[in-house]
C-alpha cells in the first residue's frame, strides 16, 4: 500500500480543522475506519466549494 502524499494529508488535516464543527462523531469514526470514506468526503467537500 502506498501512503498518501504529504500534501494530501495536510489538506485533510486543514479541511478537518475548518469543518470540524460540521462533522458528526459517527462520520469522523467512519473516516478513521475507512480511508475510502475520507476520499469520498473530501471529494464531496471540494465539489461543494467549487460550485
Could you tell me the pLDDT band of residue 1, with boundaries at 50, 70 and 90? very low
For residue 49, the surrounding DSSP H or E stretch is: helix 35-50
Contact 19, 45 (CB under 8 A): yes
Which pLDDT score is estimated for 10?
52
User: Residue 23 gets which letter from DSSP?
Assistant: S
Taking the model in full, what pTM does it have?
0.29
Q: What are phi and psi of 26, to 5 degrees?
A: -65, -45
Q: Given the C-alpha cell 473530501, which residue does it identify?
A: 42
Amino acid at each position: 500500500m502506498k501512503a498518501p502524499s504529504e500534501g494530501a494529508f495536510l489538506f485533510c488535516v486543514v479541511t478537518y480543522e475548518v469543518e470540524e464543527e460540521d462533522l458528526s462523531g459517527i462520520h469522523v469514526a467512519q473516516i478513521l475506519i475507512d480511508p475510502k470514506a475520507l476520499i469520498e468526503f473530501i471529494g464531496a467537500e471540494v465539489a461543494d466549494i467549487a460550485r
